[in-house]
Amino acid sequence: MEITWLGQASFRFNSRDVILMTDPVNSLTGNISARQQPNIVTFSHNSPPNTSGLANQVVIGPGEYEISHFYLSGMGTALKTTPPTEELSVNTIYTIRVEGLTVCHLGYLTQKLTPAQIDQLGQPQILMGPVSGDGILSTSDLQETISAIQPRIFLPLQYPTEENVSEQPSLEKFLSEMGATDLEPQRRLNLTETNMPAELRITLMELSN
pLDDT tens digits for range 19-62? 999 998 865 445 556 666 899 999 998 776 666 666 789 999 99
Query: Given pLDDT bands bounded at 50, 70 and 90, which one contains residue 162?
Result: low
For the ranges 44-53, 90-99, 165-174, the maximum mean pLDDT occurs at 90-99
Residue 171: predicted pLDDT? 85
Residue 102: predicted pLDDT? 98
Residue 161: predicted pLDDT? 55
32 in a domain, yes or no? yes
Exposure string of 4-38, with b = 16+ CB inside 10 Å and e = fewer, is: bbbbbbbbbbbbeeebbbbbbbebeeeebeeebeb
Average pLDDT, the chain: 86
Q: How many domains is the chain built from?
A: 1
Residue 80: predicted pLDDT? 73
135 in a domain, yes or no? yes
CB-facing half-sphere around the CA of 199: CA atoms within 13 A:
1
Task: Report pTM.
Answer: 0.89
Closest to 98 measured CA to CA, from 171, 15, 32: 15
Q: How far apart are CA 147 and CA 92, in angstroms?
A: 20
Q: How far apart are CA 34 and CA 190, in angstroms?
A: 21
Residue 37: predicted pLDDT? 83
Higher-confidence position of 24 and 153: 153
Residue 29: predicted pLDDT? 42
Query: Given pLDDT bands bounded at 50, 70 and 90, which one contains residue 85?
Result: low
Domain extent for 133: 2-202
209 in a domain, yes or no? no
Residue 159: predicted pLDDT? 65
82 in a domain, yes or no? yes
Tell me, what CATH number does 116's domain have?
Answer: 3.60.15.10
Mean pLDDT to the nearest integer, 77-94: 76
Residue 36: predicted pLDDT? 63
Mean pLDDT to the nearest integer, 76-90: 71
Query: Given pLDDT bands bounded at 50, 70 and 90, which one contains residue 195?
Result: very high
74 in a domain, yes or no? yes
Residue 56: predicted pLDDT? 84
73 in a domain, yes or no? yes
pLDDT in tens, 113-145: 999 999 999 999 999 999 887 778 888 999 999
Higher-confidence position of 52 and 9: 9
Residue 142: predicted pLDDT? 93
111 three-class SS: coil
207 in a domain, yes or no? no
